[in-house]
């Protein structure tokens, strides 16, 4: 990256912070390659905490200048008005994904608000904090379209879609993920929002060994598929997505919907549309949901893709 681009970052942060974000938001998205010289850097506002993430380790001169810029920000009149609690630098490319406290104090957990809903993050221990902010409009769509529905949430992670569905009036939700610890965080996220957990199931299973159980709990009005691009020993998106798609017709209610997500920059929308035509021709492509404006990407096909299909 280019140290001479940091003044532009400073000016941008001053502009967006002057509006005082009320909810969690991506403030700066260098990963979209719309900011030359800052392609490996993002900045998130997490309800009082500024999280600056480096996706690749940088030369010492760049890191020193970045930290000086953040210290300068912390001493500005604007920052003092924000009633913030910390500025954190997250080294995602280093072993253990450590964080540095540039200003303030880092608590073990951090609650954020998105679309009026509460989620608890886990900072400083892993690459990912517990909620992907680029999926904000996907969760918003689910919240607006879940009323009265039975929902299946595959690769549920910390159950962000499940929280949104329950807030939107879903009748029942089934969450499935191999990571039981992530599902436990999902339970907590529901409790933070005072949701009745007797309407929500949490299955800590390998999906490809659990089709019988998943099908037995159906059929479903809405199926959400948000897989990782790669999960060692269990899932390779380009190879395994089709194994899920071919099961959809047997699990959907008539007129049911599928929200299929794709976050591999090497695969475009046509990959998923074509795979669906082959594996589940009964389902029709409806639309691609927009990504949040703050996640602008020079190539929209390299960004997150959230596609809606219906039976």
Strand (E) or helix (H) holding 77: helix 77-81
What are the pLDDT tens digits along the chain (311 aa)? 999 999 999 999 999 999 878 899 999 999 999 999 999 999 999 999 999 999 998 999 999 999 999 999 999 999 989 989 999 999 988 888 888 999 998 876 789 999 999 999 987 666 677 899 999 999 999 999 999 999 999 999 999 999 999 999 999 999 999 999 999 999 999 999 999 899 999 999 999 999 999 999 999 999 999 998 866 666 888 899 999 999 999 999 999 999 999 999 999 999 999 999 999 999 999 999 999 999 999 999 999 999 999 99
Strand-pair category, 86-91 with 117-122: unpaired
Alpha-carbon distance values, 270 to 35, 256, 307 (Å): 27, 22, 10
pLDDT at 216: 95
Q: From edge to edge, which strands make up the β-sheet containing 150-154? A: 200-203, 172-176, 150-154, 220-225, 252-262, 305-310, 284-289
Taking the C-alpha atoms of residue 279 and residue 248, their distance in angstroms, rounded to an integer, is 9
Query: 146 preceded by cis ω (within 30°)?
Result: no
Which residues make Cβ contacts (< 8 Å) with residue 92, sequence separation at least 6? Answer: 53, 54, 55, 127
Write out the E strands in 135-271.
150-154, 172-176, 200-203, 220-225, 230-231, 235-236, 252-262
**The pTM is what?**
0.94
pLDDT at 180: 94
| Annotated domain spans of the chain | 3-122, 133-310
Taking the C-alpha atoms of residue 195 and residue 58, their distance in angstroms, rounded to an integer, is 43
pLDDT at 233: 63
pLDDT at 197: 95
pLDDT at 29: 98
> Which of 224, 281, 304 is CA-nearest to residue 257?
224
> Residue 131: phi, psi to the nearest 5?
-155, 130
> In the CATH hierarchy, which top-level class contains the domain 3-122?
alpha beta
Taking the C-alpha atoms of residue 3 and residue 124, their distance in angstroms, rounded to an integer, is 25
CATH number for the domain running over 133-310:
3.40.50.150
């Amino acid at each position: 990256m280019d140290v001479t681009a940091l003044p532009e970052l400073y000016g941008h942060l001053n502009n967006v912070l002057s509006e005082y974000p009320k909810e969690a938001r991506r403030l700066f998205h260098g990963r979209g390659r719309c900011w030359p010289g800052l392609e490996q850097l993002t900045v998130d506002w997490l309800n009082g905490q500024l999280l600056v993430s480096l996706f690749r380790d940088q030369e010492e001169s760049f890191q020193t200048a970045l930290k000086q810029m953040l210290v300068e920000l912390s001493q500005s009149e604007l920052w003092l008005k924000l009633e913030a609690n910390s500025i954190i630098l997250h080294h995602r490319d280093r072993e253990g994904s450590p964080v540095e406290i540039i200003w303030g104090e880092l608590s073990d957990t951090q609650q954020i608000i998105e679309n009026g809903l509460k989620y608890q993050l886990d900072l400083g221990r892993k690459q990912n904090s517990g909620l992907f902010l680029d999926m904000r409009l996907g969760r918003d769509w689910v919240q607006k379209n879940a009323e009265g529905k039975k929902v299946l949430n595959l690769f549920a992670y910390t159950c962000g879609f499940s929280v949104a569905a329950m807030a939107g009036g879903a009748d029942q939700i089934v969450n499935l993920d191999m990571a039981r610890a992530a599902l436990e965080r999902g339970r907590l996220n529901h409790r933070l929002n005072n949701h009745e957990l007797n309407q929500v199931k949490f299955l800590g299973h390998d999906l490809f060994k659990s089709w019988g159980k998943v099908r037995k709990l159906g059929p479903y009005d809405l199926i959400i598929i948000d897989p990782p691009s790669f999960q060692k020993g269990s899932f390779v998106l380009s190879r395994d997505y089709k194994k899920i798609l071919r099961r959809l017709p047997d699990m959907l209610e008539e007129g049911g919907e599928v929200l299929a997500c794709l976050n591999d920059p090497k695969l475009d929308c046509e990959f998923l549309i074509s795979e669906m035509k082959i594996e589940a021709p009964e389902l029709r492509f409806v639309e691609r949901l927009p990504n949040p404006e703050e996640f602008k990407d020079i190539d929209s096909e390299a960004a997150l893709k959230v596609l809606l299909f219906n039976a």
